[in-house]
Chain A
Amino acid sequence: MEQKKRLFKNISLVEFKRQRVLIIWSVFFVAYGLVFCYAPLVGWLMAFQNYKPKDGILHSAFIGMTKFKMLFSDATFIRVIRNTLAMGVINLVATFVMAILFAILLNEIRLKGSKKVIQTISYLPHFLSWIIVTGILHDALSGSGIVNELLTKFHLVSQPINFFAHEEYFWPIVAFANVWKETGWNAIIYLAAITAIDPSLYEAAAIDGAGRWNKIKYVTLPGIKPTIIILLIMNIGNVLNAGFEIQYLLGNGLVQQVSQTIDIYVLKWGISQMDYSLGTAAGIFKSAVSIVLILICNTIAKRHGEERLF
């Protein structure tokens, strides 16, 4: 605040006039932000109200934490938290490991042309919508799909497996879909980081007799460690956000015990059942956990002297 005042004093009238156009645009951007990004935060009040659409936020009765108590006494919500966390963590680990592995291995490809082609192909799934990806998954995993065909051909199973009818397959399918879609895309940033490693380090390692494996272990991996950590921090905050589209599109009555996530719960109770207060409470819980996760990761990174977000 004080700094702001000083800034004001240092700016001449001429300069202020010159910046007029910037100030006018700033007013527009603040107004836009207040309406579309900050106004919904006022809606958080609904979680503490018995919100009635006809009364609005101003006139609905406040009921304290009742809705939160309802949430946490609901066995479905507890299960939904478990599903969201489990799938978030599994996806995070799977996509991280695969992207790093892919980046390192692609970097070892010596034929320059093929490397470029592989990388171009690897981006493709990222540009497809989840609608298309789940459609493809349905085809591939159906009774007559390619996966069952291969499994029966190699006599690994006698009967085709109905993958979408068994709870135990749901999380692995979601993880695989995420890996399939995002490996090439996520690898971009690691490949850039690998490129930035000082080549002399590899030369030194070679002189010390390091083989390919040791070079990866002692030069490449430590070289991209800061990138890995900052991306990990950014993504851990998103763990609870990672579950909506695919679960919504792939889930069905048979697997809903393991497929429903917080967002689907909000959609179901908030929008379909019109219990806006309960839906908002669930949403607040999700936001709060995300922010706490980001802060924790950031603090840990700071303590260990690593790269961090803020």
Chain B
Amino acid sequence: MEMALTNKKNFNEGGYSAPEEKYKIRKRKASPGDIAFHICNGIFMILFVVITLYPVLNTLAISLNDGTDALRGGIYLIPRKFSLKNYATVLQKDNLMIGAVVTVARTLIGTALALITNAILAFIVSRKNFIFAKQLSLFWVITMYVNGGMIPIFLLYKGLGLTNSFAVYVIPGMVSAFNMLVIRTYMRGIPDSLEESAQLDGAGYTTIFLHIISPLCKPVYATVALFVAVGQWNSWFDAMLYNRMSDNLTTLQYELMKLLSSVTNQSSSVEAMKNSSGSVTPMSVRAAATIITMLPIICIYPFLQQYFVSGLTLGGVKE
């Protein structure tokens, strides 16, 4: 337990805690230069925040606005003619709903598989007296720098029967050298004495992994899980390349991409679908689909900040 606490403390130090606390210099009168600097800095930061947030908020406003009305332009942050019709339309589109189910499934299964395998691999290569630890580590680090490229990989998956299957989303990318290194670095920080005393009590490696090391690694597991989950949630290229023919294996992002290309290609011949409760256009429907797609991530990431900050700092370590 004490171990876990010290680790956590290290992470916070290496993370994003405010540095000014450390070097609070004697208060001296702010020079005109300093004041000018702070004003410019403040303006820069406000601009930065506006440019970052505006497009997202604007999409939100359009998604909540009547479709035909939105085509007139002039919608910024607040919907002019409020309507939930866009969301209703999205929820009625079968392919989007299938995409959502597949995306949720691949995110959950893919993250679980990746976390389990990377954790086991990291555990193996971080055992100091394991005879093949070095070789196995090198074997995986090489894969970070050399890969076969798109065509050989495509043909391999085809040969293995992974095309037009759900497995192509979760099996091939399961083990990643980068994620393994992040976990390995963390595990190396855990004192050997814990493992040694467990060994004296007769614990095998399985017990040590499950009951001694893993409970201490929760923070780094969370980091890697977040990295993998975001990657799974956002990927679309594999759906396009390997599962193009299987409509029931489409993903949310891939469906969104099809919506985008239909909007950009047919913007001149926009056909608004009218009915009693208002109208929708491809543009407004896409805005609603975009918001639905980004919502889960936006809701989750602020609470996981400390994890990805520490994970990124760990990832920057030398091999």
Taking beta carbons and an 8 Å cutoff, which residues of A are in contact with B?
A: 4, 7-8, 11, 15-16, 18-19, 21-23, 25-26, 29-30, 32-33, 35-44, 46, 102, 105-110, 112, 114-115, 118-125, 127-132, 134-136, 138-140, 142, 144, 146, 149, 180, 183-185, 188-189, 191-192, 194-197, 199-200, 202-203, 206, 211-213, 227, 230-231, 237, 244-245, 249, 252, 263, 266-267, 270-271, 276, 279-280, 283-284, 286-287, 290-291, 294, 307-310
Task: Produce 1/0 per residue, B278-319, CB < 8 A to A.
Answer: 000001001000100110011001100100110011001011
Instruction: With A195-B19, A203-B25, A310-B318 as known contacts, state yes or no: A211 contacts B31, CB within 8 Å.
Output: yes
**Residues of A contacting B293 with CB < 8 Å?**
129, 132
Judge whether B260 and A138 touch: CB under 8 Å: yes
CB pairs A–B below 8 angstroms (15 shown): A16-B131, A43-B148, A108-B38, A114-B45, A118-B49, A123-B305, A124-B298, A131-B234, A131-B236, A184-B52, A189-B316, A195-B13, A196-B13, A237-B145, A270-B151
Whether B48 and A43, one on each chain, are in contact in the complex, defined by CB atoms closer than 8 angstroms, is: no
Give B146 Cβ to nearest chain A Cβ, in Å: 7
Nearest chain B CB to A212 CB, angstrom units: 5
- Chain B residue contacts of A287, Cβ below 8 A: 146-147, 149
Whether A41 contacts B131 by the Cβ 8 Å rule is no
The stretch from B86-94, B132-140, B186-194, B217-225 touching chain A is B132-140
Partner of A279, one of B23, B151, B319: B151
Chain B contacts of A125 at CB under 8 A?
A: 52
Residues of B within 8 A of A25 (CB): 120-121, 124
Q: Please determine whether A212 and B37 come into contact, CB atoms closer than 8 angstroms.
A: yes
For A139, give its contact among B13, B58, B121 (CB under 8 Å): B58
A223 to B22 CA separation, bound complex (whole angstroms)? 15
Chain A residue contacts of B127, Cβ below 8 A: 19, 22
Residues of A within 8 A of B294 (CB): 127-128, 132
- With beta carbons under 8 angstroms apart, the residue of B121, B152, B155 that contacts A41 is B152
- Shortest distance from the beta carbon of A62 to any chain B beta carbon, whole Å: 16
Complex Cα distance, B33 from A118, in Å, reads 24
Give complex CA distance A146, B56 in Å.
13
Using CB atoms, name the residue of chain B closest to A294.
Answer: B145
On whether A115 and B41 interact (CB within 8 A), knowing A188-B312, A213-B33, the answer reads no
> Which A-chain residue is minimally distant from B312 (CB atoms)?
A188
Q: Are B16 and A180 in contact (CB under 8 A)?
A: no
What's the Cα separation between A121 and B298 when bound, in Å?
10
For chain B, the bracket of interface size reads 35 or more
Judge if B3 is at the interface, Cβ distance under 8 Å. Answer: no
Measured CB to CB, the nearest residue on chain B to A202 is: B23
6 closest Cβ pairs, A-B complex? A40-B148, A43-B152, A283-B149, A199-B23, A129-B234, A40-B152
- Residues of B contacting A130 with CB < 8 Å? 234
CB distance B16 to A195 under 8 Å? yes
Of residues B152, B294, B308, which shows the largest number of chain A Cβ atoms within 10 Å of its Cβ? B152
- Residue in contact with A112 in the complex, picked from B18, B73, B120, B155, CB distance below 8 Å: B18
CA distance A220 to B205 in the complex (A): 45
B260 and A46 contact, CB distance less than 8 A? no
* Contact pattern, B 154-189, Cβ under 8 Å of A = 1, otherwise 0: 111000100000000001101100000000000000
Question: Please, which residues of chain A bring their CB within 8 A of the CB of B156?
Answer: 35-36, 39-40, 43
Q: Is the CB of A46 within 8 A of B152?
A: yes
Question: Which of B41, B42, B48, B305 meets A120, CB within 8 Å?
Answer: B305
Asked if B79 is at the interface of the complex by the 8 Å CB criterion, the answer is: no
* B149–A122 touching, CB < 8 Å: no
- Which A residues lie within 8 Å of B267 (CB)? 142
Contact in complex: A33, B139 (CB < 8 Å):
yes
A4 to B294, CA, bound (A): 50
Determine if A131 and B253 form an interchain contact, defined as CB atoms under 8 angstroms apart: yes
Chain B residues with Cβ below 8 Å from A290 are: 145
Flag whether B6 is at the interface (Cβ < 8 A).
Answer: no
A192-B145 in contact given A19-B205, A132-B256 (Cβ < 8 Å): no
Interface residues of B in 49-80 (CB under 8 A from A): 49, 51-56, 58-59, 62, 73, 76
Residue of A whose beta carbon sits closest to that of B129: A15
Docked-complex contact A108 and B37, CB < 8 angstroms: yes
Report how far A184 CA is from B45 CA in the complex, Å.
12
A135 to chain B, nearest CB (A): 5
A263 touches B297 (CB 8 A): no
When distances are taken between beta carbons in the complex, the residues of chain A under 8 Å from B59 are: 135-136, 139
In the complex, what's the smallest C-beta–C-beta distance from B148 to chain A, in angstroms?
Answer: 2
Residue among A38, A114, A309 with the highest chain B CB neighbour number at 10 A: A38
Instruction: Report if A124-B205 is in contact (Cβ < 8 Å); known contacts: A132-B293, A135-B286.
Output: no
Query: Is B298 touching A127 in the complex (CB atoms < 8 A)?
Result: yes
Cα–Cα, bound, A159→B16 (Å): 45
Using a CB-CB cutoff of 8 Å, which residues 192-240 of chain B contact chain A? 204-206, 230, 233-237
Contact residues in B for A267 (Cβ distance below 8 Å): 150
Considering the chains assembled together, what is the distance between the CA atoms of A206 and B105 in angstroms? 56
**When chains A and B are docked, how far (Å) is the Cα of A284 from the Cα of B152?**
10
What residues of chain B lie closer than 8 Å to A136, measured between beta carbons? 55-56, 59, 290
Q: Are B155 and A43 in contact (CB under 8 A)?
A: yes
* A200 surroundings in chain B (CB, below 8 A): 23
Question: How far does the Cβ of A175 sit from chain B's closest Cβ, in whole Å?
Answer: 14
Would you give the shortest CB distance from B307 to chain A, in whole angstroms? Answer: 12
- Shortest Cβ distance from residue A59 to the other chain B in the assembled complex, whole angstroms: 15
Residues of chain B with a CB closer than 8 A to A283's CB: 148-152
